[in-house]
Amino acid sequence: MKYMITGGSKGLGLAMIDRFGGDSYCRGNGFDITKDTEKLAKISLDYDVFVNNAFDGPFQEPWANFAQVQLLYAVGDLWAKENKSGYIVNIGSVGSETVSAPIPSFETYRVSKAALKEHSRQWTRAFKDNKVPFKTSLLTLDRLDTDLTRNRSSWTGNGIDTADICSYIELITNAQPNTCIEEIIGWVNFDHKQ
């Protein structure tokens, strides 16, 4: 299978590139999900698996412009019009599972991820209702074990291993043709002792 991964230059995206041999579309090679939505959607037609990984962050910024959601809409809409089969995998966050006040402003990250979750579920429903041939899945993830998170002062030594996340994607793409996995949620015990 041919993989297209947004934000594949570091962290989870890079781990997916390494595992699946996919192509990265990120700011580092001239693609920005906040500006290149239509272009990325057209490129996605050449792939079997589109991983909507890049966020319009960093999440500490005082805004959430819903770029991941807009990109999902553009890709899903185009795939539907083209009657394209394949897989769309959205990278969400457990931040969508908790409501917080928007102070401090980086908490708007949760709003964007909640919108991504809802729109991903809509496309899953479209497959279930036989309106589209492609499958859409969401990975709702807690803290990841990446170079970025390991360098934060809040790092406790516990995060989701990116190899496990790649295995979740393999589970999604290996499901029977009539089955779409809507969502996988991964939580982490930050205080877990090995």
Question: Which residues lie below 8 Å from residue 164, measured CB to CB, with a gap of 6+?
Answer: 186
The domain that holds 75 is classified in CATH as 3.40.50.720
> How many domains in the chain?
1
Residue 98: pLDDT band with limits 50, 70, 90 = confident
How far is the C-alpha of 160 from the C-alpha of 2, rounded, in Å?
25
Query: Residues 123-137: pLDDT tens digits?
Result: 999 999 999 999 999
pTM exceeding the 0.85 threshold for the entire prediction: yes
pLDDT of residue 57: 62
pLDDT of residue 58: 54
* pLDDT at residue 118, as a whole number: 97
Residues 109, 102: Cα–Cα separation, whole Å: 9
CA distance 25 to 9: 8
Q: What is the pLDDT of residue 115?
A: 94
Peptide bond into 104 cis (omega under 30): yes
Task: Tell me, yes or no, whether 115 lies in a domain.
Answer: yes
Confidence of residue 111 (pLDDT cuts 50, 70, 90): confident
Residue 191 within any structural domain of the chain: no
| pLDDT on residue 59 | 52
Residue 193 lies in a domain: no
Mean pLDDT taken over the chain: 92
Location of structure tokens 């996340």: 165
Q: Which two tokens stand for residue 112?
A: 């964007």
Domain holding 28, by residue range, is 3-186
Tell me which residue has tokens 């402003």.
105
pLDDT score at 181: 98
Question: Is the residue at 182 inside a domain?
Answer: yes
pLDDT tens digits along 1-42 = 999 999 988 999 999 999 999 999 998 999 999 899 999 999
137 vs 194: CA distance, rounded Å: 31
Residue 5 CB contacts under 8 Å (≥ 6 apart), including other chains: 13, 16, 17, 20, 22, 23, 24, 25, 51, 53
Element at 50 (helix H, strand E): strand 49-52
Is 192 part of a structural domain of the chain? Answer: no
Does the pLDDT value for residue 161 go beyond 90?
yes
State the burial class of residue 98 (Cβ atoms within 10 Å of its Cβ: 0-12, 13-18, 19+): exposed
DSSP 76: H
Model pLDDT, residue 142: 95
- What pLDDT score was predicted for residue 64? 66
Q: Sign of the C-alpha dihedral, residues 6, 24, 27, 40?
A: negative
pLDDT in tens, 38-90: 999 999 999 999 999 997 765 555 556 789 999 999 999 999 999 999 999 99
Percentage of the chain lying above the pLDDT 70 cut: 95
Coil, strand or helix at 147: helix
Q: Is residue 194 part of a domain?
A: no
